[in-house]
Amino acid sequence: MILSGIRVLDLTRLLPGPFATQWLAAMGAEVIRVEPPTGGDWLREMPPFMEGTGAWFAAVNRGKKSVAIDLKQPEGRELFLRLVQSADVVVEGFRPGVMARLSLTPESLLSQQPRLVYASLTGYGIGSRWRERAGHDLNYLALAGFLGLNGPREGPPVPPAVPVADFGGAMALLIAVLAGLLYRERTGYGIILDASIFEVVVTWMQPFWRAHRAGLRAGREGMPLNGVFPCYRVYVTADGGAMALAALEPAFWQAFCNAVGHPEWIPRPFDPALIPEVAALFRSRTRREWEMLRETIDACLEPVLEPEEAIRSLDDLAPALQKEIPSLPFTVDGQRLVAMGPPPRLGEHTMEILKGIGIESADLEDLARRAIIKV
């Protein structure tokens, strides 16, 4: 495995941080969730439930271990520092200042483990005046301008059903950690990293803002990729379904026009005035009829699947991802990387991990009686 022998202490909760560290687990790292003895990650208790655990929690925490330590207690912090000495990576997603109040600053942890890769996942980033402000996916999308471009022209913007900012932040965190490990291997030194969810969305928006300043005004339904071109739109079918046409390249658009008997459309892929004609054509056939047509041409024409349909389609489209075991979307020497094992119960591995760093059983039992750890 790519990251065999790498120990990650994961202090993150909810969705983005655990999503990133699960990828590390799938790559072979030992990921140890460090959670408070009471409560732990709230995502465990969020419905719906599968086998007694929140489905969202299970989806992003397979293949990990859980150690329950009260970091607010001096003895708990001492245990954590002992763990840091055995770790390669620490990942946390607290607001800036929380680790300092716990006397666990990045600098203090690197003094314990000079080769440590310390990575924070923050909302607005350490350089922002809003760095201590609370935020969630929808807030970041709103402030970056992403949300303002989402949805039909009439009415309010539509929040995306998928928390794209959270997942984008997770990917930025993952890239930072992997780069940090490479840096450590090259230099022998640890490093302090910060990934900002908001800044990820801003980087996505930069091409649109540059085009906006150059004269292509950003707006809902008014840009090349959100409906202004007849060759790149979602069209409603006769039975209320929808088809996604993405025939941007001339060859694809030409194939589509010839297949539907409208060769006169070929010179007009970017003519907004053509949209009503193409829309009327799509409304003349059912989605199934369009699906049958798309099987005969190479034109980037696909049905818009409902969730149940998309799940069923994985057997053909992405067989390696059809099961609920988290598999990474790339292979290594042809092998698929998977986060094996169920999600951990709160404190399930406390005894195992702490004994492994030299803490005696009697001491652990005493700590458990005083609720500093949970076993």
Catalytic residues: 136, 166
**Could you tell me how many helices (H) and strands (E) the chain has, helices first?**
14, 14
The distance from CA 275 to its chain's CA centroid, rounded to whole angstroms, is: 35
Q: What's the CA gap between 316 and 89, in Å, rounded?
A: 37
Q: What is the DSSP letter of 345?
A: P
Q: Which two tokens stand for residue 227?
A: 């409906």
Tally of CA atoms within 13 A in the half-sphere of 167 that contains its CB: 6
Q: Where are the alpha helices (DSSP H) in 214-297?
A: 250-259, 275-283, 287-294
Q: Are 266 and 257 in contact (CB under 8 A)?
A: yes
Q: What's the CA gap between 333 and 148, in Å, rounded?
A: 42
Q: What's the CA gap between 11 and 14, in Å, rounded?
A: 10
